[in-house]
Amino acid sequence: MTTLELTPPVIQATQVLTIAVGAPLITGVIARVEAMLQGRHGPRVLQPYSDLAKLFRKESLAPRGTGPFFLAAPFVAMACYLTVPLLIPVLTSYALPLGFMGDILGGGFVLALASFVVAVAAAETGDSYAQLGSSRAKTFGAITEPVVLLVVFTVAIVTATDLPYVLGATVRSSPDQIVRPAHLLASAALFMVILFETGRIPIETHTGTTELGMIEEARPFEHSGPYFAVLKWGSMAKQLILFTLLLNVFVAPWGMAATRDVGGVLLAVVLLLAKSCVLGGVIAVIDDSFAKLRLFKITEFVAAAFLLAILAIFTLYLGGG
């Protein structure tokens, strides 16, 4: 009995579709868990899909004075987000044809390009709130990027390369690899960066429009209709990409397909979404368990992640690698 196998291009397309289609589900699960922790009914798990569909049906408006870049920015950012799944292990433990075209650092550059494009589009509007969010995003982004660089350097020292597939294989090779002190410190630093990048803590709020804490919600302030829907969808996709990077490379690189068998690939899709839902639940608990920090405290939070990344490198040279 022969098993149906997928070609590498089809698997790569499946990876992109998994991120694009599954991203709103993870956002819905997090919102549902947060509501339960706060003692309220909350939205349905599938509510983000309904919200996106509603936005796609609405009229699009653009501020006076903006150019074609303002309207193109959401689609450019979405294209950047959907490029990263081609470079990281999403569904397979082996590298696909495009898997070696970029490393973790290259994927970070693509995500940074998406953030830059959205920030420039927000600044072009001239709106005070949009410019405020754009300025804050780039200011704090300059602090978090060195943390990601140090995490990548730690990976490069351990595996002699910063290719995500190689690190995932290293972690899977032995249970001792995942409890290595340097690996744990680097994973903790990356987790703190994810908390910041997804707007969970210590940002004032990730869903409201409170001026003192607006960053992620302020940048698309002037977009509307389908353009706003693409920005929201891209933000959800970015969250799932970061979850996938942490899970399939650093923390739990298991449950991925080792062959091109259809059943194995589909099982990998289910397991990735299940792992991401669990991680989202953990983040929701953290988000509801700590008081929101003031805006100027973000630098202290990111500085703690930076110190963890520094300690990871020092630990390697002191025998903890």
Both structure tokens of 20: 């694009």
| 84 DSSP 8-state letter | G
Report the distance separating Cα 149 and Cα 147, nearest Å.
Answer: 5
Residue 263's pLDDT is what? Answer: 87
> Whats the size of the chain, residue-wise?
321
The single residue listed with the structure tokens 């960066």 is 193
Q: Phi and psi dihedrals of 38, rounded to 5?
A: -90, 5
Residues in CB range of 279: below 8 A, 6 or more apart: 243, 246, 247
Residue 207's pLDDT is what? Answer: 55
Residue 25's pLDDT is what? Answer: 93
Residue 278's pLDDT is what? Answer: 93
User: Residue ranges of the chain with pLDDT lower than 50?
Assistant: 1, 209-211
Residue 284's pLDDT is what? Answer: 87
Domain map (residue ranges) of the chain: 8-320
Range 150-170 burial, b when 16+ CB lie within 10 A, else e = bbbbbbbbbbeebbbbbbbbb
Report the distance separating Cα 237 and Cα 84, nearest Å.
Answer: 10
Mean pLDDT of the chain: 80
Report the distance separating Cα 293 and Cα 289, nearest Å.
Answer: 12
Quick one: which of 231, 202, 166 has its CA closest to 157? 166
